[in-house]
Structure 1
């Protein structure tokens, strides 16, 4: 399953780092952040609870940029 989220991030370099951190979360098959559109596309593994996975994604992304927002 793929889902797109609105994201507020300050710079393209941070967006790249956040993308890498999101991909580390168990249950995430792939992630792509488009800095220009402020969109995060996440592809989830089959059978996972996407809400629980996204909570972990948010935690990992906030390690890169504490004031980023991902609208779940």
Structure 2
């Protein structure tokens, strides 16, 4: 399953940090962040609960860029 989320991030470098953090999250198959469109697209691993995984993605992203936001 693939979903797209609106994000708020200040710079392209911060978006790259968010993408890396999301990709390392358990339950995430792939993640891409576009600074230009302010969107994050996440493909979840089979059988994962997207809501629970995205809460963990949000926490992981906040660790690397505390001013970022993901609108779930």
Instruction: Give the TM-score band, short-chain normalised.
Output: over 0.9
Q: Deviations over 1:4-52 (max 9, x none)?
A: 0000001100100110110111100000000000000000001001100
Report the TM-score when normalising by structure 1. Answer: 0.97
1:34 lines up with 2:34 in the alignment: yes
1:43 aligns with 2:43: yes
Query: When the two structures are aligned, how many residues end up with a matched partner?
Result: 72
In structure 2, list runs of 5 or more residues that go unmatched. none
CA distance in structure 1 between the partners assigned to 2:67 and 2:15 by the alignment: 12
Q: Which runs of 4+ in 1 moved over 3 A?
A: none
Q: Distance in 2 between matches of 1:21 and 1:10?
A: 16
**How well do the aligned residues superpose, as a CA RMSD in angstroms?**
0.6
Structure-2 residue corresponding to 1:14: 14
Where 1:4 maps in the other structure, the secondary structure is strand
Gaps of 5+ in 1: none
Give the structure-2-normalised TM-score. Answer: 0.97
Secondary structure of residue in 2 paired with 1:6: strand
